[in-house]
Amino acid sequence: MQKRLKNTGLDNIYNADETGFYFCALSDSTYIDKSKKRFERGVKVAKDRLTVVVCNNMAGSKSRLLVSGKAKQPWCFKNVKTFPTEYRFSRNAWMTSQIWTNWLQNWDLHLCKENKKILLLVDNCSAHVLLKQIQMMFLPLNMTSLIQPCDMGIIRALKAYARHEIRCRIIEKIDDSMEGDTKMANEIAKEISVSDAIHILATSWVKVAAKCIQNCWGKAKFKPKFTTDQ
């Protein structure tokens, strides 16, 4: 693997991985008022889910996020013509082989126009697709948690920024609510739409620094190694 990477520029070595994002679920910490805590033993965790494909290269550049939801045209998409991410849909909001294949083919066409060839590191791929500009390299089985850059902290950073944004929204609405008309945090969280979640993810992805991505590639033992900052 290192021999193939050695002859490829940092801007042309990419890694892509998917993750689930429960945009209406609260964190492990409680948002229940102290006076109500003894009566409220907990709330049911919201299962509203999106699947997100995160893609970046060794130099620290980020590709546009690919988001998959359940509905083709959710009500919150009304009168919305463009989104900051790619959006696809499937029955369970999972990343299907068809969605993955279409995404790769569209990216390949874009690279053809730029006359650019890349090497894409992925953990697995059940789809069989012919690509001209993208050469896929599969990471060893049962080793992705140790050598896949996206799993070294890139996805974690994206989710951390997204969760912070959601918490800020919840706290802001609680503070702005009239006394006696305060909603529970889980009720406010359930008001977050798919459109809101997409914009939160896009904004959070912008906040993930190039240095963070470079350090994660270095942590995954890909050369050249980058110095790791705290």
* Cα distances (Å, whole numbers) of residue 90 to 69, 73, 96, 160, 199: 6, 11, 7, 26, 20
In a domain, 228, yes or no: no
* Residue 54 confidence (pLDDT): 98
161 or 125, higher pLDDT: 161
Number of domains in the chain: 1
* Residue 228 confidence (pLDDT): 44
Q: Which residues of 132-151 are buried (b: 16+ CB within 10 A; e: fewer)?
A: ebbeeeebeeeebeebbbbb
In a domain, 61, yes or no: yes
Total-model pTM: 0.86
Rg of the chain taking only CA atoms, in angstroms: 20
In a domain, 225, yes or no: no
In a domain, 74, yes or no: yes
In a domain, 26, yes or no: yes
In a domain, 230, yes or no: no
Q: Quick one: pLDDT band at residue 178, thresholds 50, 70, 90?
A: low
* Residue 25 confidence (pLDDT): 82
Full domain range(s) for residue 113: 2-219
Tell me the mean pLDDT in the region 65-84.
91
Residue 37 confidence (pLDDT) above 80: no
Report the CATH number at residue 52: 3.30.420
In a domain, 176, yes or no: yes
In a domain, 229, yes or no: no
* Residue 229 confidence (pLDDT): 45
